[in-house]
Structure 1
Amino acid sequence: MARTCWLALVTFLATNAAPALSSAASEDMEFTFLLPAGSKECFFQTIDKDNKLEFEYRVIGQSNLDVSFTMISPSGHREFEDRRKSHAIHTLESTVQGDYQLCFDNSFSKIKEKMLFFTLLISSLNNTTEETDLAADIATNDTFEFKLQDFKARLDKLHQQIQRGRVIQLMLRTFDTRDQHLQDNNLWRVSFWSCVSMVLVLVVAVSQVRILESLFPES
């Protein structure tokens, strides 16, 4: 009997939980882009109703670089608005159906371009209801030996660890992108000043030769 209930549980999770997780994961968004000086870039993401939204952005590069950020809901309401920040984290507990607008503004800077990284994580609030329905379906058998609460606690712990690991991977990727950007800037500076130094050496050498030739005129 217990084996039959276990097979029923596995079948239910395979047919219902897996598609739900895959559809939720497909809505997540992560992006790295270059925001030119004096410009504004907006991104749009379609989100279902009654979802939890977690958003984080970071300016990659020097610590004094910042941008302005605005998140606008489908109804036109400004959910979040930041003025000249280099890093911020926002959480929206309940969303509405429609396209959310994410805008980054660098119009106040006329010289410096900004490298930005942002991630958008969306999780469904209906998971609790689905788990409750599943518990009600399975708990009808009093002789069921498997402890559903322990199984649910293990799943929740595993989900939290996966989410934590994903966030850590995203942050490491952000640091790699920042380091690459700094290396590119340093390479350009080294190349530029090397060329300048070479030109100066050639100018000094030619000048010295001319001076020596002027000191010993041909007879």
Structure 2
Amino acid sequence: MARACWLALAACLAANLARVLSSVPTQNMEFTYLLPAGSRECFFQSVEKDSRLEFEYQVIGQPNLDVGFVMISPSGDREIDDKRKSHAIHKLERTHQGDYQMCFDNTFSKVKAKTLFFTLLISSANGTAGDERKASNDTLEVKLQDFKSRLDALHMLIQRGRVIQLMLRTFDTRDQQRQDNNLWRVSFWSFFSMVLVLVVAVSQVRVLESLFPES
């Protein structure tokens, strides 16, 4: 228990220090929205050059639901092209400067709308290498830069942990909906079986009565 409290305190302190000292800014976004049936919707995100981009999406709700996904770079190239998937994780190590286009496709489904949850994590690496080269002759500055980079890495791990927690929460929601659907099916078929048994029993009684008429 004490170890867990110490780790939580250390993580909180490291996250706060990373926000103050970090020379590598990060962006973390989470969205949940409804993609209508037969539609295709796109989002745009501005990204700096040589940044690191992580993208994850999940179709929540009923099982066996999927969507198409395309990510287009500022130059017009297709970086990612998923065909009807329910869950995927993608990483770009070195991005181009400009607006990235992210499109979800549900045009193949004319009946079912899809509930989507997706996260976007962007970390910029600009300036780190240059600072380290300039501080190569200054031991103190090199150590400070190394300390900052370690804090940045820790901050990224904390952000990823938060994203994983959100995804686990999404999985719990999906499993709960599956349980509700299964409960309804079990109740329906139980009621149907009971009615069928009663009908068969009444039919058998009528047949027996017809075989032995009253004198």
When normalised by structure 2's length, the TM-score is 0.63
1:177 alignment partner, one of 158, 173, 176:
173
Aligned position for 1:124? 124
CA distance in 2: counterparts of 1:29 and 1:42, whole angstroms: 16
- Shift in alpha-carbon separation, 1:44–1:152, aligned structure 2, 3 A: same
TM-score of the aligned structures, taking structure 1 as reference length:
0.62
Following superposition of structure 1 onto structure 2, how do residues 4-23 of structure 1 map, counting pairs within 5 Å? none
Alignment of 1:14-163 (within 5 A): 24-25=26-27, 28-31=29-32, 39-50=38-49, 51-59=51-59, 66-73=66-73, 76-92=76-92, 93-98=94-99, 100-108=100-108, 116-126=116-126, 128=128, 132=131, 147-149=143-145, 151-163=147-159
C-alpha contact 2:57 2:89 (8 A) present in aligned 1: yes
| 1:137-195 C-alpha deviation (Å, 9 max, x unpaired) | xx7xx9x7995245324413422431342243133224313322321221222122122
Contact 1:67 1:85 in 2 (8 A): yes
Partner Cα separation in structure 1 for residue 91 and residue 19 of structure 2: 30
Distance 1:102 1:175 in 2: 23
Counterpart secondary structure, 1:28: strand
Segment drifting more, 48-57 vs 187-196? 48-57
Distance 1:55 1:178 in 2: 20
Listed one character per residue, the Cα deviations across residues 91-120 of structure 1 (whole Å, up to 9, x for unaligned) are 23224333x433233444567776544222
Moved more, 105-114 or 185-194: 105-114
Q: Give the Cα separation in 2 of the matches to 1:157 and 1:112.
A: 41
1:59-97 alpha-carbon deviations (Å, 9 max, x no partner): 4565x6543221234565433212233443222322433
Runs of 5+ in structure 1 lacking a partner?
1-12
Give distance in 2, aligned partners of 1:215 and 1:189. Answer: 39
Moved over 6 A (4+): 13-16, 110-113
Distance 2:154 2:164 in 1: 15
1:207 equivalenced with 2:206 (yes/no):
no
CA–CA separation in structure 1 for the residues paired with 2:122 and 2:146: 26
CA distance in 1, matches of 2:116, 2:141: 52
| Percent of paired sites with the same residue | 64
Give the superposed CA RMSD. Answer: 4.2
Provide closer, same or farther for how the CA distance between residues 97 and 85 of structure 1 changes in structure 2, counting only shifts above 3 A.
same
Q: How many residues align?
A: 193
Q: Which runs of 5+ in 2 are unaligned?
A: 1-16
